[in-house]
Each structure stands twice: as C-alpha cells, then as structure tokens.
Amino acid sequence: MTTPRTNRTEKLDLRLSPSAKQTLQAAAKAARKSVSEFVLDTALSEAEERLADRTVFTLDAERWATFVNALDAPPRRHPRLERLFREPSVFDPKP
C-alpha cells in the first residue's frame, strides 16, 4: 500500500527509543521507503485491518440466511428488562 502524496497537511509526532528508531529505519530501508512512508503505510494498513471487522463482515449463504431470519424475527419479550424500565431510575427527578 502506498499513501498518496497529496493533501498531507496534518502532522503526527512520536517519541520512541533509539532501538525502536533503528528498527524502523532498517525496516524502511528494506522496503525502499522513507521512514515516514514506512510508518504511515504500516500504521494505516494495521488501522484498516483492525477496523474492517467493525464495518464489513462476510457470511456464506447458510449463515446469511440465519442472520436475515434473526433480523426479521419479532423481538422476544424480556420480563426482567420490562420491569427495569417500569421502575424509577436514579436519573428520574425525585417527586
């Protein structure tokens, strides 16, 4: 993944140990990138991977049908939850 060079108006500063900096420099050199390019590309790739399961998920046909059926099913009654909502809350104004 290569980050575009346009619209880079924001700055991010990092504090790191000398050994961490040397490791990043070595990795950037091996990838034939600047340290900034390497850190940005790697961080963005990791961020996208961590966020992917929060925005996109895939299901096979059987699991998709199960998922859709669960969405379409009428809501179940939860008597304890209903009772909880009937009772006064600590946030309700006192009489």
Whole-number Å distance between alpha carbons of 79 and 85? 10
Q: Which two tokens stand for residue 59?
A: 């299901």
For 15, 28, 39, 93, the CA distances from 32, given in Å and listed in that order, are 23, 6, 12, 64
Amino acid at 40: L
What residue type is assigned to position 9 of the chain?
T
- pLDDT at 2 (0 to 100): 55
- Predicted TM-score (pTM) of the model is 0.53
Tokens matching residue 40: 């940005």
Average pLDDT over residues 20-46: 96
pLDDT tens digit string along 57-93?
789 999 999 999 999 999 999 999 999 999 988 888 8
Can you give the residue ranges of every domain in the chain? 18-86
